Amino acid sequence: MSVDKDTVRHIARLARLALPEEKLAPLAGELNGIFNWVEMLNEVNVEGVPAMSSVVAQKLKWREDKVTDGGDADALMQNAPEHEGSFFVVPKVVE
Protein backbone atom coordinates (compact mmCIF):
# COMPACT_ATOMS: atom_id res chain seq x y z
CA MET A 1 0.00 0.00 0.00
CA SER A 2 1.39 3.37 -0.92
CA VAL A 3 0.28 6.79 0.25
CA ASP A 4 0.04 9.55 -2.36
CA LYS A 5 -0.63 13.28 -2.19
CA ASP A 6 -4.39 12.82 -2.48
CA THR A 7 -4.41 10.35 0.41
CA VAL A 8 -2.48 12.78 2.59
CA ARG A 9 -4.92 15.55 1.66
CA HIS A 10 -7.82 13.25 2.57
CA ILE A 11 -6.47 12.14 5.96
CA ALA A 12 -5.41 15.70 6.82
CA ARG A 13 -9.02 16.69 6.20
CA LEU A 14 -10.26 13.86 8.44
CA ALA A 15 -7.78 14.96 11.13
CA ARG A 16 -8.75 18.63 10.73
CA LEU A 17 -5.23 19.76 9.91
CA ALA A 18 -4.78 22.54 7.35
CA LEU A 19 -1.82 21.43 5.23
CA PRO A 20 -0.42 23.68 2.53
CA GLU A 21 -0.21 22.05 -0.91
CA GLU A 22 3.61 22.07 -0.90
CA LYS A 23 3.74 19.95 2.26
CA LEU A 24 1.63 17.11 0.87
CA ALA A 25 4.30 15.42 -1.29
CA PRO A 26 7.09 15.48 1.35
CA LEU A 27 4.63 14.14 3.94
CA ALA A 28 3.54 11.36 1.60
CA GLY A 29 7.22 10.40 1.30
CA GLU A 30 7.71 10.37 5.07
CA LEU A 31 4.55 8.39 5.71
CA ASN A 32 5.51 5.84 3.06
CA GLY A 33 8.87 5.41 4.76
CA ILE A 34 7.08 4.62 8.01
CA PHE A 35 4.41 2.38 6.44
CA ASN A 36 7.05 0.42 4.49
CA TRP A 37 8.85 -0.27 7.75
CA VAL A 38 5.58 -1.30 9.45
CA GLU A 39 4.92 -3.77 6.58
CA MET A 40 7.06 -6.34 8.43
CA LEU A 41 4.03 -7.06 10.63
CA ASN A 42 2.55 -8.94 7.68
CA GLU A 43 5.17 -11.67 8.19
CA VAL A 44 3.39 -12.80 11.34
CA ASN A 45 0.53 -15.25 11.25
CA VAL A 46 -2.09 -13.72 13.54
CA GLU A 47 -4.91 -16.10 12.73
CA GLY A 48 -6.88 -16.93 15.84
CA VAL A 49 -4.98 -14.41 17.98
CA PRO A 50 -7.33 -12.15 19.90
CA ALA A 51 -6.75 -8.40 19.63
CA MET A 52 -5.56 -6.93 22.90
CA SER A 53 -8.29 -4.93 24.58
CA SER A 54 -6.83 -4.44 28.04
CA VAL A 55 -3.14 -4.61 28.85
CA VAL A 56 -3.58 -5.59 32.50
CA ALA A 57 -6.27 -8.15 33.28
CA GLN A 58 -8.92 -6.30 35.23
CA LYS A 59 -12.60 -6.14 35.80
CA LEU A 60 -14.08 -2.80 34.91
CA LYS A 61 -15.02 -0.97 38.05
CA TRP A 62 -18.53 0.14 38.74
CA ARG A 63 -19.54 3.25 40.56
CA GLU A 64 -22.74 4.94 41.47
CA ASP A 65 -23.97 7.20 38.68
CA LYS A 66 -23.92 10.50 40.43
CA VAL A 67 -22.37 13.92 39.95
CA THR A 68 -19.19 14.32 42.01
CA ASP A 69 -17.72 17.47 40.51
CA GLY A 70 -18.56 20.37 38.25
CA GLY A 71 -20.81 23.38 38.42
CA ASP A 72 -17.91 25.76 38.08
CA ALA A 73 -18.31 27.40 34.69
CA ASP A 74 -16.03 30.31 35.64
CA ALA A 75 -13.06 28.00 36.19
CA LEU A 76 -13.73 26.34 32.82
CA MET A 77 -13.96 29.66 31.02
CA GLN A 78 -10.60 30.90 32.32
CA ASN A 79 -8.71 29.19 29.53
CA ALA A 80 -11.17 29.90 26.71
CA PRO A 81 -9.59 31.89 23.86
CA GLU A 82 -12.94 33.63 23.34
CA HIS A 83 -16.04 33.51 25.49
CA GLU A 84 -19.13 35.46 26.45
CA GLY A 85 -20.29 34.76 29.95
CA SER A 86 -20.31 31.00 30.25
CA PHE A 87 -20.51 30.41 26.47
CA PHE A 88 -17.63 29.54 24.15
CA VAL A 89 -17.63 31.74 21.07
CA VAL A 90 -17.21 30.04 17.68
CA PRO A 91 -17.66 31.22 14.09
CA LYS A 92 -21.25 31.14 12.87
CA VAL A 93 -22.33 27.51 12.34
CA VAL A 94 -26.01 27.80 11.31
CA GLU A 95 -27.07 30.16 8.52
Partner 1 sequence: MSPTVFTLAEARDALKSKKISSKELTGAFVKAVEDARALNAYVTETPEKALAMAAASDARLAKGEGGALEGVPLAIKDLFCTKGVRTTAGSKILGNFVPPYESTVTQNLWNAGAVMLGKTNMDEFAMGSSNETSAHGPVFNPWRARNSNANLVPGGSSGGSSAAVAADLCLAATGTDTGGSIRQPAAVSGIVGLKPTYGRCSRWGIVAFASSLDQAGPMTRTVRDAAIMLTSMAGMDPKDSTSMDVPVPDYEKQLEGGIKGLKVGIPKEYRMDGAPPEIAALWDKGAAWLKAQGAEIVEVSLPHTKYALPTYYIVAPAEASSNLARYDGVRYGHRAKNARDITDLYEKSRAEGFGPEVQRRILIGTYVLSAGYYDAYYARAQKLRTLIARDFTEAYQKCDVLLTPATPGPAFAVGDKSDDPVAMYLNDVFTVTVNLAGLPGLAVPAGLTESGLPLGLQLIGKAFDEGTVLRAGLAIEQAAGFSHKPANWWRAA
CA angle in degrees (0–180, nearest 5) for 3-6-12: 90
Regarding 67 and contact with partner 1 (CB under 8 A), the answer is no
The residue from 44, 65, 67, 84 that contacts partner 1 (CB under 8 A) is 44
Could you tell me if 5 and 27 are in contact, meaning their C-beta atoms sit under 8 angstroms apart? no
Burial class (CB in 10 A: 0-12, 13-18, 19+), 79: exposed
Enumerate binding residues for partner 1 (CB under 8 A): 1, 3, 7-8, 11-12, 14-19, 27, 30-31, 33-34, 37-38, 40-42, 44, 46, 49-53, 55-56, 58, 60-61, 63, 72, 75-76, 78-82, 88, 90-93
